[in-house]
Structures are given as C-alpha cells and as structure tokens.
Amino acid sequence: MVYRKVDTHPELVKARFAEMLLPLLNTLASIVIFGSLLAGLPLSRLGTNGGGGRSTRCLGFDILRGQFGWVASGCICAPALLLLLSASANVKCAVLLPVALLLAWWLRATHTSHPGGPRAHRILREPQWPDKTWHVDAGWRCAVAEESHERTHAELPNGQKLTGEPAGRQTWHREPGRMSAADKETVGFNPSKNPNPDDSVWRAQRVAAWKAKGGSVPSGTWRVKGPLDAARKAMAWYQVLQSDDGHWAGDYGGPLFLLPGLVVVWYVTGRLETVLDADRRAAIEHYLRVHQQTDGGWGMHVESPSTMFGATMCYVALRLLGVARDEECMALGRAFLHAHGGCTFTGSWAKFYLCLLGAMEWAGHQVTNPNPNPNPNPNPNPIPIPKASPH
C-alpha cells in the first residue's frame, strides 16, 4: 500500500487557506450585496417571474417570493464552484454526490408550490349537476338604499353607523318570526336546467311590488314585431325590476371562490356567528350545496366544470359552516379532491386560505405579488379629483 505524504509546510498551508478564503469572501460579499443592498430591486420586477413560477426577475433578493434571481445565484455560487474545481477528487465526490442526489429528487418530485405547468388542453370534464329542484328558505326580503342602511344599523351591536351613500346598496334580511324552518320559497332552482339562479327570488319580489302598485307585467305572449317593439318590451320589463331608489339590483353570484374566502376570514377572526346569524349561515350553506356537481366538485364559477380551486374553497367553507364530514355532499367532495391529487394541486388563493386556517404549511404556498401592477410609482398617471364642494 502506498501512502501519500501530506505537505504541512506553514507557508503552503497559508497559501491554500488564502485560496479558500478569497472565494468564500466573494460569496459572502455577494450575499450581502444581492441580499441586502439590492434586495427587491428593481421594484418594477418585484414578485414577478420569467415563466413557470420558479425564478424571480429581480436583480437582488426578491423579498416577496423569497428567492434569489439567476444573476445573484450565479455570483453567490460561482466562487464555491471554482473552489470545488481545484479540490481533490475525494472532496469533489463527497460534495457532488449529495448534490446530484438532491438535484435528481428535485427534478422528479412534485413540489407543493409547483404542481406542474399549464395544461396541454382545456379541462375535458363537462359541468353536470343533479336534476333536482332546490328551494331556499322562505321569508327573505331585499332591502335597498336607505332601508338597507336602517336594517344594518339595527343589527349592529356596537351602535356604529355606516358611512357613504346608501343609494344602490342592497342587503338581504329574513323577516323574524314570519316563517318556520319548513317554509320554502315557491320559486325553485334546478342547476341542471340553468346553473344561473337568475335572481329569481328578487324578481318575484319586484313583480309582486309592481303589481301591488297597480302596474302590469309584460305578458309572455307578447311577440315583438320589430326592433322598436322589442325595445318597448325590454323597457316594460326593466321598469318592473327597477329598485325604488332608481338602480337595478342584482347578485354577484357567478364566482364560487369569493364567498368561501369571506367565510374563512370570518371564521379565523372569530366573527362567523356574530357577523352572520343562523339564517344567513344556512343561506350560504344552501347556495354552496346547490352548486355541487355530480362528480362531487365545484367549479370556479357556476357554469364551470369542477376544478380543484372551486372544490377546495367550497368544501372548506361548508365544513366551517358546520356541515359534518360524513354527510354525503362532503364525502363526494373529498372523493373529488383525493382523485385529483389533493389540495396541493389547488390554486394559490385556496392555498392561502388553507395556510390561514393552519391546514397547510406556509412553505407550501407560492408567494404572489400583492400589487397586480408592479410599478414603483403607485399612481403613475394621477387623475385629477375635484374637491368636494362645501355646499
């Protein structure tokens, strides 16, 4: 066996130490420069990436995404790589083998924040709902304008008053003591026929109010005889639907990912049962139940096929509203989520709410830019706003 003598001459040791120290100092200097002095610069690229969501476009450390860009990473890692090239074969093997194994795992693993790129085609599922007619609890009434403010003021426990113009505001209230739990609206909703509720309850109330004033509703037998006649029929119908303060009310019921977010926020702030009374919680539960599709999922909006985004949000909202996990709708919802990879394959909004609830680690959520227009000037084209008249 041949033994290699290691030269331990003090001058040689110092020279080798200096060779190692210089690259390490360069690496530390790069970390300070890109991680502190140039952090978040340029602001116009803060929180953005070059595609695929894997690398920031910032020159320095991206404080929103928690990443170094390619330039910064190269400056930080290059000195260490040069130092590695001058090392012995044993040192190279000891360093490169774990790095290669880690890289292979990274390339093959399914990462929480990067479940994959865009689909090669649109979702092939078609939206389908059970052929069932649902009826919401009876007794709901829409209050608009000043009445809406008054009803809200009466419900606030701390005596606060709303600010702003009441015109155009609309809120729903269930008349206390007038209806039992078994009473249902006569107007039904069958999503398999039309997934849009069409404001059916609101329209029925406006028709009743219009008739109570002695007005007549356009007949379904009215067959238009030209553009002018069509305009007359439209005007006759829309004057029936017009609110007393002059605006035309309507629900914002298309997206299925907005309402669940409010439920999550009310839950984590401990306000779910104070902001929402039992009737409103039951109405939200009803709304989410009727839009569940036959495959167990929910769409991103009422006409969409089931998506992981919509299914995650609606499932979580129903559970927070008190629906038991062993109910049929919840079992179907979980089956859909499990069949499509679990909630790591949902959208970033849903992941945020899961993290907020403590159901997912924050490390599993890809940070997104809070400003949709990452411009260093928050108001690059200011619009002159006239001052309010003292009169």
**How much of the chain, in percent, has pLDDT values that exceed 70?**
82
Q: How confident is the model at residue 372 (pLDDT cuts 50, 70, 90)?
A: very low
Q: Are 345 and 308 in contact (CB under 8 A)?
A: yes
Q: How confident is the model at residue 261 (pLDDT cuts 50, 70, 90)?
A: very high
Across the chain, mean pLDDT equals: 82
Q: How confident is the model at residue 381 (pLDDT cuts 50, 70, 90)?
A: very low
Q: What is the pLDDT of residue 112?
A: 54
State both tokens at 206.
């406006």
CA distances from 77 to 39, 41, 59, 69, 74 (A): 18, 20, 15, 12, 5
Q: What is the pLDDT of residue 231?
A: 95
How confident is the model over 164-219, as pLDDT tens digits? 888 889 899 998 765 666 789 988 999 999 998 878 889 999 999 999 999 999 98
Q: What is the pLDDT of residue 207?
A: 93
Q: Are 139 and 175 in contact (CB under 8 A)?
A: yes
Residue 71 has pLDDT above 90, yes or no: no
CA distances from 379 to 176, 344, 383 (A): 48, 36, 9
Residue 52 has pLDDT above 60, yes or no: no
Chain centroid to Cα 288, Å, comes to 16
How confident is the model over 265-308, as pLDDT tens digits? 999 999 888 888 899 999 999 999 999 999 999 999 999 999 99
> At 44, is the secondary structure helix, strand, or coil?
helix
Terminal Cα distance for the chain, rounded: 103
How confident is the model over 236-254, as pLDDT tens digits? 999 999 998 888 887 777 8
259-364 folds as: Glycosyltransferase (1.50.10)
Residue 135 has pLDDT above 90, yes or no: yes
The torsion angles phi and psi of 142, rounded to 5 degrees, stand at -90, 125
The torsion angles phi and psi of 141, rounded to 5 degrees, stand at -140, 140
Residue 2 has pLDDT above 80, yes or no: no
Q: What is the pLDDT of residue 180?
A: 64
CA atoms within 13 A on the CB side of 120: 0
Crossing angle between the packed helical segments 278-290 and 308-320, to the nearest 10 degrees? 150
Q: 131 CB contacts (<8 Å, ≥6 apart)?
A: 190, 192
Q: What is the pLDDT of residue 302?
A: 94
Q: Are 191 and 177 in contact (CB under 8 A)?
A: no
Q: What is the dihedral of CA 226, 229, 233, 239, to 10 degrees?
A: 140
d(C-alpha 252, C-alpha 258), whole Å: 10
**How much of the chain, in percent, has pLDDT values that exceed 90?**
40
Across the chain, the runs of DSSP E, i.e. the strands, are 140-144, 170-174, 298-299, 306-307
State both tokens at 346.
């949902």
CA atoms within 13 A on the CB side of 380: 6
DSSP label at 142?
E
Higher pLDDT, 252 or 28: 28
Peptide bond before 42: cis, by omega within 30 degrees of 0?
A: yes
d(C-alpha 380, C-alpha 373), whole Å: 11
The one-letter amino acid at 68: F
How confident is the model over 138-163, as pLDDT tens digits? 999 999 999 999 999 988 878 888 88
Higher pLDDT, 98 or 339: 339
Q: What is the pLDDT of residue 150?
A: 92
What's the alpha-carbon Rg for the chain, to the nearest Å? 31
Q: What is the pLDDT of residue 228?
A: 94
CA distances from 366 to 167, 235, 249, 345 (A): 40, 49, 38, 12
CB atoms within 10 A of CB 367: 18
Q: What is the pLDDT of residue 198?
A: 76
Region 54-78 average pLDDT: 81
Chain centroid to Cα 264, Å, comes to 11
> At 20, is the secondary structure helix, strand, or coil?
helix
Q: What is the pLDDT of residue 378?
A: 44
